[in-house]
């Protein structure tokens, strides 16, 4: 078995720690991982059965396709993502029940697979007749990623054999002597690289590189959104910014980084970093969410970041963390961990509800109308709904959450012979060859992070702890000394002893955040942040006021009130008028106290309106 981590590059600045060596304890992410194990995975498993997505494979075995098939053309992939989550969870906790379930699914899929390795419940004999929308290679990508998780945590079995046959089939069909094409939805690229990493078979890396190099050569047909939607309008190396369908663009960037790292292609890596920089600078929401257009689920133009039109799909947030993590491993630069933190605590943490059994598909920053309540026993078609739904006709997001939460321990820290690097803060026990650490923290509620040495080698090594970009005024305590530390990585290098501890004190005072004035939709507005958490106004906390008329007084910083932050505010009452322009002399202005709650908590108390950005009073 290989190292049990989601990403295991053969080279790069940092080396990941297996999820089996990072045990999350009670805390923000530990609680969510436990909820994923106890509720979310089973919830998703029950729904894929109910929706018929498992029965599609049984229908393939019985020969009753396509008539008996249910679900969208890519539903196989959503099942594979869930299986990946199950594989990580089995590897992490050894859950026998999930292991047995996974083995049964592997047996079923082996029976449904064609002798040459082809496996897809949608297309049957009309293979690869629709590379733009058919998602066959996309489905293989998630099948292979699930198998990589299984190989790294448990070892070979019938399910991994299915994935290897499928990967060999892809190489035969789309290799140098095969079909000249790419999938309309990238993900096969990074899957093949990870399979290369776990098996050592060069053909998988070669095929991944071929797919990356073919992208942008206009092999896909033009559509109403243009080839830009598929990232097939310009070669990866020539692109200046991530563009088109946000999830597809981010998955492709992950694959490009993987290819670049494994082949030593510094130009390709530099191209992706350039695209990441421009995307973060001009096309990313305060929450870390990406993708502002609903009609094609895509990135908009620079600064096209209207909060009430934000799409910010949960899958795009997962893909963004995957990309940031790869760039962090390749470069060791803190800015990639900073964006991952922002995205995790906001754009990802907001998706599941408090029970882990209902999910946001898209993650708006401004809910104007009071939403309806989704049915609990039906697949919801309403990706733009204002409340979390138990399941969707397209349920890529719940299954993506399941695999991210099961493997999130793999994104906390890295280690090598020089020492240990702590990137994300959560209560955890971390085991490495150099030392064993115990991390204690109530982050993000509190800014104190205590790292204790529980075991250590006798020679000197370095502990590096990330200081977030927002944490101006942070301090590091080692023994009896205390020193200020700047954003980036704070390093302590010494010969350690068992019982030594390092304390990072992060400033957790709430702060006002003002947007770039080029984001015209929120010009004159402010948002509230505390630590890595973005806050929002929710109508259940302001029952007598219309959030659309709110403005906040920013002369003082928000004050803590339990889990909320309170600030002086104004709101207006206006009479109905026959024309919505002109003087508003009859407007009544009233004073109140606005309560801001963590964005990731919104929508848990029933139907509600919400906004992250609020006008400033008086206007600046």
Q: Domain end: 411, 438, 459, which one?
A: 411
Residue-wise pLDDT for 128-148, tens only, equals: 999 999 999 999 999 999 999
pLDDT in tens, 208-234: 999 999 999 999 999 999 999 999 999
Residue 42 lies in a domain: yes
Query: In the block, which residue shows the tokens 């080839």?
Result: 227
What would the pLDDT profile of 160-187 be if each residue is shown by its tens digit? Answer: 999 999 999 999 999 999 999 999 999 9
For 297-353, write each residue's pLDDT tens digit: 999 999 999 999 999 999 999 999 999 999 999 999 999 999 999 999 999 999 999
End position of a domain, from candidates 388, 411, 434: 411
Encoding tokens for residue 539? Answer: 């109508």
Q: Which of 358, 393, 411 is the last residue of a domain?
A: 411
Report d(CA 495, CA 461) in Å as an integer. Answer: 6
**Do 405 and 425 fall into the same domain?**
no
Q: How far apart are CA 539 and CA 526, in angstroms?
A: 18
* Strand pairing report for 461-467 and 488-494: antiparallel
Mind giving me the DSSP string for 551-610?
EEE-SS--EEETTEEEEEEEEEE----SSS-S--TTPEEEEEEEEEEEGGGTTTTSS--E
CA distance 396 to 504: 37
Do residues 396 and 276 both lie within one domain?
A: yes
Instruction: Judge whether 3 lies within some domain.
Output: no
Q: Which two tokens stand for residue 396?
A: 């890529």
Task: Compute the Cα dihedral for 381, 387, 388, 390 and give only its sign.
Answer: negative
The answer to whether residue 583 scores a pLDDT higher than 70 is: yes
347-371: per-residue pLDDT in tens?
Answer: 999 999 999 999 999 999 999 999 9
CA dihedral for 10, 267, 291, 520, sign (positive or negative): positive
324 Cβ contact partners less than 8 Å away, ≥ 6 residues apart: 276, 336, 337, 339, 340, 343
- Domain membership of residue 12 (yes or no) is no
The string of pLDDT tens digits covering residues 74-118 is 999 999 999 999 999 999 999 999 999 999 999 999 999 999 999
pLDDT at 414 (0 to 100): 97
For the chain, what is the mean pLDDT? 95
Peptide bond into 66 cis (omega under 30): yes
pLDDT tens, residue by residue, 373-430: 888 888 988 776 789 999 999 999 999 999 999 999 999 999 988 999 999 999 999 9
Q: What is the pLDDT of residues 434-463, one digit of tens each?
A: 999 999 999 999 999 999 999 999 999 999
106 located within any domain: yes
Read off the CATH number of the domain in which 366 is found.
Answer: 1.50.10
- Tell whether 437 and 519 lie within a shared domain: no
Q: Is 540 within a domain? A: yes
Range of the domain at 593: 511-617
At 241, is the secondary structure helix, strand, or coil? coil
Q: At 243, phi and psi to the nearest 5?
A: -150, 170
547 plus 476 within the same structural domain = no
Q: What is the distance between the alpha carbons of residues 484 and 242, in angstroms, rounded to a whole number?
A: 36
CATH number assigned to the domain comprising residue 498: 2.60.40
Q: Is residue 461 part of a domain?
A: yes
- Same domain as 389, residue 464: no
- 367 and 264, same structural domain? yes
Number of domains in the chain: 3
Give CA separation, 353 vs 40, 155, 356, 600, in Å.
10, 33, 5, 9
Q: pLDDT by residue (tens digit) across 152-162? A: 999 999 999 99
Domain co-membership, 325 together with 397? yes
Please indicate, yes or no, whether residues 143 and 103 belong to a single structural domain of this protein: yes
Strand partners for 389: 359
pLDDT value at 2 more than 70: no
Residues 376 and 362 in one domain: yes
β 525-530/435-441 pair status: unpaired
Asked whether residue 541 falls in the same domain as residue 564, the answer is yes
Q: Are residues 467 and 346 in the same domain?
A: no
Q: Give a yes or no: residue 124 inside a domain.
A: yes
Kindly state whether residue 14 falls inside one of the protein's structural domains: no
User: What is the pLDDT, as a whole number, of residue 28?
Assistant: 97
pLDDT at 1 over 50: no
What is the reported pLDDT for 124?
A: 67
Give me 591's structure tokens. Answer: 């004073």
Query: Using CB atoms within 10 A of its CB, is residue 207 exposed (0-12), middle (13-18) or buried (19+)?
Result: buried
Strand-pairing partners, residue 16, are 414
pLDDT at 486: 97
Q: Are residues 364 and 488 in the same domain?
A: no
């Amino acid at each position: 078995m290989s190292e049990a981590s989601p990403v295991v590059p053969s080279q790069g600045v940092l080396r990941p720690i297996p999820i089996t060596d990072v045990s999350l304890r009670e805390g923000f992410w530990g609680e969510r991982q436990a909820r994923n194990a106890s509720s979310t995975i089973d919830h998703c498993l029950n729904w894929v059965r109910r929706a018929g997505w498992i029965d599609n494979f049984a229908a393939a075995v019985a020969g009753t396709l396509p008539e008996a098939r249910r679900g969208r053309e890519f539903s196989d992939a959503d099942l594979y993502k869930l299986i990946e989550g199950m594989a990580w969870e089995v590897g992490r906790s050894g859950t026998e029940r999930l292991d047995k379930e996974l083995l049964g699914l592997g047996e079923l899929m082996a029976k449904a697979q064609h002798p040459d390795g082809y496996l897809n419940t949608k297309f049957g004999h009309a293979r690869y007749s629709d590379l733009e929308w058919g998602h066959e290679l996309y489905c293989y990508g998630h099948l292979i990623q699930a198998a990589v998780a299984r190989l790294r945590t448990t070892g070979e079995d019938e399910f991994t054999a299915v994935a290897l046959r499928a990967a060999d089939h892809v190489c035969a069909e789309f290799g140098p002597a095969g079909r000249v094409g790419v999938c309309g939805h990238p993900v096969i690229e990074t899957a093949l690289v990870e399979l290369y990493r776990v098996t050592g078979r060069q053909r998988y890396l070669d095929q991944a590189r071929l797919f990356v190099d073919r992208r942008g050569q206009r092999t896909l047909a033009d559509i109403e959104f243009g080839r830009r939607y598929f990232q097939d309008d310009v070669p990866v190396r020539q692109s200046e910014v991530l563009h088109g369908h946000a999830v597809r663009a981010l998955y492709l960037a992950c694959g490009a980084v993987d290819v670049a790292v494994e082949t030593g292609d510094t130009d390709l890596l530099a191209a992706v970093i350039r695209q990441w920089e421009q995307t973060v600078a001009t096309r990313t929401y305060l929450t870390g969410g990406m993708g502002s257009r609903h009609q094609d689920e895509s990135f908009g133009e620079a600064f096209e970041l209207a909060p009430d039109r934000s799409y910010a799909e949960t899958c795009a947030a997962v893909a963004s963390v995957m990309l940031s993590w790869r760039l962090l491993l390749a470069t060791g630069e803190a800015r990639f961990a900073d964006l991952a933190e922002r995205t995790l605590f906001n754009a990802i943490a907001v998706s599941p509800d408090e029970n882990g059994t209902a999910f946001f598909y898209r993650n708006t920053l401004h809910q104007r109308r009071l939403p309806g309540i989704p049915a609990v026993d039906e697949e919801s078609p309403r990706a733009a709904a204002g409340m979390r739904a138990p399941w969707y006709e397209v349920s890529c997001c719940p299954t993506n959450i399941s695999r991210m939460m099961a493997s999130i321990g793999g994104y906390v820290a890295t280690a090598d012979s020089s020492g240990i690097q702590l990137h994300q803060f959560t209560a955890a026990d971390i085991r490495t060859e150099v030392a064993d650490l115990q991390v204690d923290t109530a982050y993000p509620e509190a800014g104190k992070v205590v790292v204790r040495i529980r075991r250590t080698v006798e020679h000197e090594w370095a502990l590096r702890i990330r200081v977030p970009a927002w944490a101006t005024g942070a301090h590091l305590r080692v023994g009896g000394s205390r020193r200020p530390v700047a954003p980036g990585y704070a390093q302590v290098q010494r010969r350690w002893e068992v019982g030594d501890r390092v304390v990072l004190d992060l400033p957790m005072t709430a702060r006002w955040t003002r947007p770039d004035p080029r984001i015209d939709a929120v010009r004159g507005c402010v948002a509230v942040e505390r630590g890595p958490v973005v806050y929002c106004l929710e109508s259940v906390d302001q029952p007598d006021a219309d959030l659309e008329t709110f403005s906040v007084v920013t002369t003082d910083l928000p004050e803590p009130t339990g889990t909320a932050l309170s600030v002086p505010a104004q709101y207006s009452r206006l009479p109905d008028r026959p024309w919505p322009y002109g003087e508003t002399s009859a407007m009544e202005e009233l004073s109140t106290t606005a309560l801001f709650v963590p964005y990731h908590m919104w929508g848990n108390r029933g139907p509600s309106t919400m906004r992250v950005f609020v006008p400033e009073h008086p206007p600046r």
